[in-house]
Amino acid sequence: MTSDLSKLNVLMCGTGEYTTGWTGSGASKSDKKIGVVGLTLFDLRRLGKVDHLGMVGVNGKKFPAIRQHLAENIGGVYKDMDLTFDEFPKGGSVDPEAYKAAIDELKPGDAVIIFTPDSTHYDIAIYAIERGIHVLVTKPATQLLSHHNELIAAAKKHSVVCFVEHHKRFDPVYSDAKARAASLGEFNFFNAWMSQPKSQLETFRAWAGKDSDISYYLSSHHIDICCWILQDIAYPTRVVASAATGIATSDPYNCVPQTEDTITLLVDWQSIKSPKHRGTGVYTASWTAPLKAGVHSAQHWYYMAEKGDINVDQAHRGYDITVDDTGKTWYNPFYMKYSPSESGHFDGQRGYGYISIEKFIDAARSVNAGRAQPSDYDKHGLPTIANTVLTTAILNAGRISLDEKRAVGIKKDGDQWLLE
């Protein structure tokens, strides 16, 4: 069925934890020790969907260590993985704008996958889209709603696929919950918690509190899930934010003074169909959660509607392992399954971290073959740039609310969402 589709050339932007599992301080100690993007693309190349690969970062001197890390932990673990890729910047140079040279070497219809610091997503995505390149950008797609609106317009103008990598939409529990919420009537209340241990303040030292905040970093996940569940039920009208502080800015973390610990966004939702039904969303994210909690990301939420409720605890899935030295850990192979198959190949093709990238690759190939239009994916309810605009609206409004200590309105003007 898919045999006449051409293989896709893909440039990975960012060479860090999510792409390779290699961070500034060596191999990641999180739950992504060998990354997600590189591994998935190497496997999709083995399976015939992807062809030429590239990787662009800022510091070309990191590539020998990255290649060694990939050779040992991917090449040495899974059979038949071709780990070749072009690197940018070349020759060990340092260049924050190397993504331009790397994208210039692509041709229209190729693709980029962006996992770089939040403040760089827009610049890289717009550069690629304007050159006819399909884009998969990690969350938060952009920090400003105006930038998100520009990406929607540019993707439409250049007829490219632009998805936001909201992998939780492919988690079987979350997607089942979305389907069930559709029959629960009017929305009333949503409460989400997501946190990571305080040690992340060391991992994120380069940008924490300076270039982005914990709400953009973690609440983006559950705000997107809530917006997705409510897409035909209600729309957000107002955001008020509150922040807890004092841990990140104290010993031993000593982050910059404006770093918040825990951010809560309180959002008013108006029913689309019923003027009298209004709901409340509460989205909290923290990077000062306890160490040794047994999970890397605590994550749970509660949804209440007219005719019922939904409770999800995605951190604890009824699967835990206790080891003498390290204590109890709850693992999540439904996201990325790293243990090899019986034949020695990578075996995580059903993980939602993998599926999220594969859906984008499939969409870009179908559009290149003329089988689909980019706008078809908006109708399918996938996390396209157009379908995720309210997630950015809420996150951006939350940041303004914290900075300006006021409530921020969200409204629609024509077909565009704006902040007041």
Ligand X SMILES: NC(=O)c1ccc[n+]([C@@H]2O[C@H](COP(=O)([O-])OP(=O)(O)OC[C@H]3O[C@@H](n4cnc5c(N)ncnc54)[C@H](O)[C@@H]3O)[C@@H](O)[C@H]2O)c1
Binding site for ligand X (CB under 6 A): 13-19, 23, 32, 56-58, 96, 99, 115-118, 120, 138-139, 217
Under a CB-based contact definition with an 8 Å cutoff, are residues 56 and 321 in contact?
no
Choose between 14 and 197: whose C-beta lies nearer to ligand X: 14
Choose between 28 and 264: whose C-beta lies nearer to ligand X: 28
Choose between 166 and 178: whose C-beta lies nearer to ligand X: 166
Choose between 184 and 395: whose C-beta lies nearer to ligand X: 395
Tokens representing 182?
Answer: 């559709």
Provide, rounded to whole angstroms, the least separation between the CB of residue 415 and ligand X. Answer: 27
Provide, rounded to whole angstroms, the least separation between the CB of residue 3 and ligand X. Answer: 32
Bridge partner residues of 137 (DSSP): 114, 164
Cα atoms in the 13 Å half-sphere on the side-chain side of 18: 17
| Closest C-alpha among 96, 82, 88, 139 to residue 114 | 139
**Cα pseudo-dihedral 389, 374, 176, 139, rounded to 10:** -40
Length of the chain: 420
Provide, rounded to whole angstroms, the least separation between the CB of residue 19 and ligand X. Answer: 5
Under a CB-based contact definition with an 8 Å cutoff, are residues 137 and 357 in contact?
no
Alpha carbon of residue 241 to chain centroid: 22
Q: Judge residue 376's burial from the number of C-beta atoms within 10 Å of its C-beta, 0-12 exposed, 13-18 middle, 19 or more buried.
A: middle
Give residue number: closest CB to ligand X.
16
Choose between 99 and 269: whose C-beta lies nearer to ligand X: 99
Tokens representing 200?
Answer: 């992340």
Three-class SS state of 410: strand
Choose between 217 and 346: whose C-beta lies nearer to ligand X: 217
C-alpha span between 324 and 52 (Å, rounded):
44
